[in-house]
């Protein structure tokens, strides 16, 4: 039977989810069932939430776990009556921060994922647009303003990683697919020649690549293990020759790939 988890917020619920999911990965054998309840910003809405938590308790016979990031004390007071275990990062840490900073918290709800700094926000949206416009080798003429160019064979993880870098770190990240055509020339593609310092190579285990490509295009030469091995080997040779740093993405999430690239290249990562 799954244990019921609630994420409750007066804003988007993203912080409550992030804190809660991080803590819960420490108990990964357990089976959880999740409900995110954003915009709980009035005592009336909180009363409805109370009903849901009580319902889950009644159904499961076990106390639900409630991750909360509520700022409004009247809303928190209602939720405090629930039959769940409440884990409230704000209630615990805000007083410590107030003391450390010598300031009172503003008490404003729903601020975490709002537009706090319009300039920074628009820089992030610009990065997303840049990345979409340069996805998969489009517009190499934009490489002069790219902060980084991910390079790798088809299905090595370039597109999701580029998008993550733009959306979450605000980094203008292009990506270029190395194809068999490029490899026939046995050297770095022309459009990348002037930008090898911005390039970062993504590589992948050929067996895994073969699985991914087979799911998409079974029975093509493109998907065969032999072709995957050939492309990966030749691409890695190019990375080595041009001293392009590389990362094997086989076991990594986009978050991990993006974090490692940013650390290795010394790029500025703007936390949000």
**Any contact of residue 69 with a second copy (CB under 8 A)?**
yes
Q: Residue 235 has which token pair?
A: 């691409």
From the list 68, 72, 76, 112, which residue makes contact with a second copy (rule: CB under 8 A)?
Answer: 112
Nearby residues of 109 by Cβ (< 8 Å), 6 or more positions away: 10, 11, 41, 70, 71, 72, 75
Q: How far is the CB of 183 from a second copy (least distance, A)?
A: 23
Angle 101-107-113 from CA coordinates, rounded to 5°: 95
Which of 146/163 has CB closer to a second copy? Answer: 163
**Any contact of residue 132 with a second copy (CB under 8 A)?**
yes
Return d(Cα 158, Cα 154) in angstroms, integer: 8
Q: Which of residues 195-254 bind a second copy (CB under 8 A)?
A: 251-254
From the list 63, 179, 196, 214, which residue makes contact with a second copy (rule: CB under 8 A)?
Answer: 63
Which of 194/255 has CB closer to a second copy? Answer: 255
Helix, strand, coil % over all residues of the chain, rounded to 5: 55, 15, 30
**Any contact of residue 121 with a second copy (CB under 8 A)?**
yes
Q: How many residues bind a second copy (CB under 8 A)?
A: 77
Note whether 202 and 244 are within 8 A (CB).
Answer: no
**Any contact of residue 54 with a second copy (CB under 8 A)?**
no
DSSP 253: -
Which of 117/220 has CB closer to a second copy? Answer: 117
């Amino acid at each position: 039977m799954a244990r019921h988890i609630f994420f409750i917020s007066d804003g988007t619920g993203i912080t409550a989810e992030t804190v809660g999911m991080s803590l819960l990965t420490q108990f990964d054998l357990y089976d959880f069932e999740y409900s995110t309840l954003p915009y709980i910003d009035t005592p009336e809405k909180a009363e409805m939430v109370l009903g849901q938590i009580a319902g889950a308790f009644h159904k499961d016979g076990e106390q639900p776990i409630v991750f909360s990031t509520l700022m409004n004390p009247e809303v928190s007071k209602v939720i405090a009556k629930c039959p769940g275990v409440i884990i409230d990062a704000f209630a615990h840490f805000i007083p410590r921060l107030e003391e450390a900073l010598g300031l009172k918290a503003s008490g404003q709800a729903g601020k975490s994922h709002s537009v706090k700094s319009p300039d920074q926000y628009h820089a992030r949206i610009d990065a997303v647009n840049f990345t979409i416009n340069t996805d998969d080798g489009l517009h190499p003429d934009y490489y002069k303003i790219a902060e980084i160019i991910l390079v790798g064979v088809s299905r090595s993880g370039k597109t999701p990683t580029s998008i993550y870098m733009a959306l979450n770190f605000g980094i203008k990240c292009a990506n270029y697919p190395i194809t068999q055509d490029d490899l026939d020339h046995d050297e770095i593609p022309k459009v990348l020649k002037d930008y090898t310092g911005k390039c970062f190579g993504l590589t992948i285990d050929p067996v895994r690549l073969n699985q991914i490509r087979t799911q998409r295009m079974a029975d093509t030469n493109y998907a065969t293990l032999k072709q995957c091995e050939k492309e990966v080997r030749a691409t890695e040779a190019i990375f080595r020759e041009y001293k392009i740093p590389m990362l094997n993405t086989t076991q990594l999430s986009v978050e991990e790939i993006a974090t490692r690239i940013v650390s290795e290249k010394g790029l500025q990562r703007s936390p949000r």
